[in-house]
Amino acid sequence: MNATANLLFVGLPGSGKTTFLAALWHVLEDRSSETSLKLKDLSVDRAYLNQITADWRACSQVQRTKLEPEELVVLSLASAAGTTFELTVPDLSGEAFEQQIVDRRMAVSHQENIRRATGFVFFVHPGVKEGTQLTYSRRLQAVIEGTPSSLPNGAGGDGGRSGIEPWSIEKLPTQVKVVELLQFALERALQKVRIAVVISAWDLVESTTTLAPHEYLAREMPLLRQFLDSNSDLLDHAVFGVSAQGGDITVDEQKQALLELDDALMRIKVRHGADTSQDITMPIAWLLEER
């Protein structure tokens, strides 16, 4: 059976979309590991994929995706049951999503991407919350209570008042932005959608907790969890923890350890519920599953 699948990778800047795609391409091309989906055909334009995967293998930072030109990736995949898929995934810049929130406008081409999408991979980086809304609300609270000495980042001196920047839409908490992006997508989707939530850089989470991805999401992002649960008539969702890079490549020892692994495949870790595997195709296979 032949089917087409248009998936959309959605996520704020730096949420891990390109790194995931690079690791996915490495695994598909390598073919040596057990994966739910396999590469069927190589007749695709591989220049962009090869470039990001070369960076990934070398543990170099993949480039931030630019707004223009849009990188469109088309893969021909086969499931274990023999169904073949033409998988289209534009690798979009997180800035394009940030702009939707700030300007409340969306490119016509992006609206088309959403309408065509049969599923969404929704990326959330576990570290994105650092230094934004929490810090801001603590600073605000400190000013209100008149305790400038407790202000972080040296704000204060005049009662702290000049340390507070005026509110702007960019300062929205990450969870609110993520829910907003989901709402944009749901408003435009023509049918019930499937959403694979990927908590990227799972290695960072794993070093602090043994919680499963959906439990971690419930604890750290309760608004997002409630939104997903309460809209079950519009969407089906599952939560995956994915370490596509395997560790923090900005820390020399971690980068060295990753480069010394016999096989780059061993960097990858995917957690779903209590199960852990190296199958990075899992979130995509879940989106494509017949139900």
| Residues near ligand GTP, by CB under 6 A | 11, 13-19, 61-62, 64-65, 93-94, 123, 125, 200-201, 203-204, 243-245, 247-249
Closest to ligand GTP by CB, 89 vs 155, is 89
Per DSSP (E only), the strands in 97-224 are 119-124, 193-199
Token duo for residue 142: 């400190």
**Going by DSSP bridges, is the β-strand pair 84-91/119-124 parallel, antiparallel, or unpaired?**
unpaired
SS3 (DSSP) at 118: coil
Q: Which of 36, 53, 65, 200 binds Mg ion (CB under 5 A)?
A: 65
CB of 260 to ligand GTP, least distance (A): 17
Instruction: Measure the CA–CA gap between 82 and 288, rounded to whole angstroms.
Output: 12
Residue number, 53 or 93, with CB nearest to ligand GTP: 93
Identify the burial level of 27 via C-beta atoms within 10 angstroms of its C-beta, where 0-12 means exposed, 13-18 middle and 19 or more buried: buried
- Smallest gap, in angstroms, from Cβ of residue 204 to ligand GTP? 5
Closest to Mg ion by CB, 71 or 163 = 71
Residues 6+ apart with CB under 8 A from 258: 59, 245, 246, 247, 249, 267
Examine residue 88 and tell whether it contacts Mg ion (CB under 5 A).
Answer: no
Dist. CA 60–CA 83, nearest whole Å? 35
Query: Per CB under 5 A, does 118 bind Mg ion?
Result: no
Q: Least CB distance from residue 205 to Mg ion, whole Å? A: 20
> Between residues 14 and 173, which has the closer beta carbon with respect to ligand GTP?
14
C-alpha 212/C-alpha 37 separation (Å) is 23
Q: Which amino acid is at 170?
A: E
CB of 163 to ligand GTP, least distance (A): 28
Report the site for Mg ion in 12-41 (rule: CB under 5 A). 17-18
**Interface with Mg ion (CB under 5 A):** 17-18, 65
